[in-house]
Structure formats: structure tokens, C-alpha cells
Amino acid sequence: MTRRVRKAVLPVAGLGTRVLPGAKTVPKNLLNVVDRPILSYIVEEGRAAGIEHFVFIVGRGQGAIEDYFDSMPEVEGILEAKGKVDILADVRRDLPQHAGQMSFIRQMAPLGLGHAVWCARDVIGDEPFAVMLPDMLMAANPPALAQAIAAHEKTGGNIVVVEPAPEGEAHKYGIVALDGQQGRLNRMTGMVEKPPPGTEPSNLFISGRYVLTPEIFKVLETQARGAGGEIQLTDGMANLMKTQAFHALEYEGTTYDCGDKIGLLRANVAFALARPDLAQAAREAIQALL
């Protein structure tokens, strides 16, 4: 019997160098996809998967994220008085329903994803938890994190969501090694961050949703710096794999890397085309440009 996954860590403290200068004054996860910030979609996905408490790992200059998830009485009051109920609902949709359902932790230096996750240890405590990389927008039904949690309920232990890397690009990612491949959920035998080209153990990369056991925090505490001089979550998980089971889940859905210029553009186009109220106008606007 596994314990329910109630909390998710959302590390947003990276520098976002690939989307500068946009990410200079606006945290990259607050950039819009169609008409709401990337983070709005991520929190929606988390809630649909049963997450009750979101733990954001933020960096300097990212106070706007906390403000985004707070109420805005002046504007809400004006919208209410004018009867603009649709806009009011949009403004309120991402707010926590109760106090204490969102925590914000400062990562004082961007030392790497492993370090960012470790910063959440006190708030997570002794229970399995999710990690959601907020620049990876995943269009899926059921939502990607729900698929990962269902896999965790089946196998116990740790789950890493993976997908095939584009041809010839596996060396740019964290790549998993599998103990045979049967269906979408397979036991892992290893993982490596940014393997030198030609040494990749598979073409499946770790794409941004995880379910981890709290033992990862002990491992990350003493984790040495790895690729890029950063404390890598992949290295920490590889160490934990010596004592705990890890499964890779090839989820069903489409990923958009919004931390990348073209990925963000693709997400905007795809999500606009998927919106019944905008699809027709979006199609016409795109076609006129071709």
C-alpha cells in the first residue's frame, strides 16, 4: 500500500538563459501560453492529479510568482462591480482554495535541479512527493502527472516520466537505461545526465515529471556537483537507485519545452488551436502568415 502523493515541488529558480531577455524581469514560467502563464497550466495539471500543496523553489527577482497566486482585491473589486464575471473567474482560477496550500522557498543560488529539490525537504517531510518541471508543458489526457501517480500506485518506489528524444539529441538530456522494454512502464537499471554522444543507454529522456520517495533528500544532501558544475537530480536518483526501485513511464501525450524559444512558440500555436473559442481565428491567423 503506497502513501498518497499530496505534495509537488515546482523548481522555478533557474536562470532561463534560453529565453532571455524576456526572462530578465518576468520569471520565464510566467510567460503566457495563449492567455495565461505557463505556471497556470502546470498547477492545473497538478490539481487534476490530486496535488494539494505546491512547493515553489524560487530565485531572486521572482516575487511576481508569489503575487500571481495571491488575490488582487483592487482589480477583483472593479471586475465584480462591472459584472465582468468571466474575467473575474480567470483571475481567480489559480488561487489556492485555502491558506497553506502553496509554499515558496528561496534557492539562494542556482546550484542545480538536485539542489533545488533538496531545498524542499522540510516542507515535504517523510512522504512520497511529485516533482514537476514547470517549463515542460504536457498536453495529455489523463494529465501527465496523473499517469505518473497511477504508475507509482502500481509499482511503489520512484517513477520517472520519459519520452523519446529527437533524433541525434539524446546527449542533451538525462537518459535512462531500462531492464528490457515491454509496454510503457519499465524497471530502470541506470540513468545518466548528458551522456557523451554515442554512449547513450537509450533514446528515452527524463522529461519533467517525477514521483520520488523522501529518501532522495538524504542522498541529495551529500551529492557532488555533476554535469555543468551543477548538483544534478539525475545523479541523486542514480545513487538512490542502488537501494530503491525506479521505473520509467513513457507517458501518453505531447510535451512542449517552454524554456526554449521554438518550444514556447509551438505551445502557443498548439494550445490556441486546441481552444474551441479561438481555434478558427488562430487557424486563419497562422494560415495568413504561411
Which residues in this chain contact ligand UTP in the complex, by CB under 6 A?
11-18, 57, 107, 110-113, 115-116, 133-135, 259
Q: Would you say 187 and 179 are in contact if contact means Cβ atoms under 8 Å apart?
A: yes
- For β-strands 185-193 and 174-178, DSSP reports them as antiparallel
Rounded to a whole number of angstroms, the minimum distance from the CB of residue 220 to ligand UTP is 12
Pick 29 or 268: Cβ nearer ligand UTP: 29
Which one, 55 or 272, has the nearer CB to ligand UTP? Answer: 55
Nearer to ligand UTP, 263 or 282 (CB): 263
Task: Write down the least CB distance from residue 147 to ligand UTP, Å.
Answer: 20
d(CA 266, CA 196): 28
| Minimum gap (Å) between residue 123 Cβ and ligand UTP | 15
Please count the other Cβ atoms lying within 10 Å of the Cβ belonging to residue 144. Answer: 28
> Minimal CB distance to ligand UTP: which residue?
14
Task: For residue 36, give the 3-state DSSP assignment.
Answer: strand
Question: How far apart are CB 36 and ligand UTP at their closest, in Å?
Answer: 18
Of the pair 115, 247, the CB lying nearest ligand UTP is at 115
Please give the span between the terminal C-alpha atoms of the chain, in angstroms, as a whole number.
Answer: 54
Report the nearest approach of ligand UTP to the CB of residue 233 (Å). Answer: 8
Q: State the nearest-atom distance from the C-beta of 59 to ligand UTP, in Å.
A: 7
CB closer to ligand UTP, 11 vs 282: 11
Q: CA 226, CA 210: separation in Å to the nearest integer? A: 20
DSSP assignment of 77-141 equals: HHHHHTT-HHHHHHHHTTS-SSTTSEEEEE-SS---HHHHHHTTHHHH-SS-EEEE-TTEEEE-S
Please, what is the angle between helix 73-81 and helix 85-92, to 10°?
160
Q: Which residue's CB is nearer to ligand UTP, number 119 or number 248?
A: 119
Distance CA 118, CA 215 (A): 11
Q: Which is nearer to ligand UTP, 57 or 219 (CB)?
A: 57
CB of 56 to ligand UTP, least distance (A): 9
Give the whole-angstrom CA distance, residue 237 versus residue 241: 6
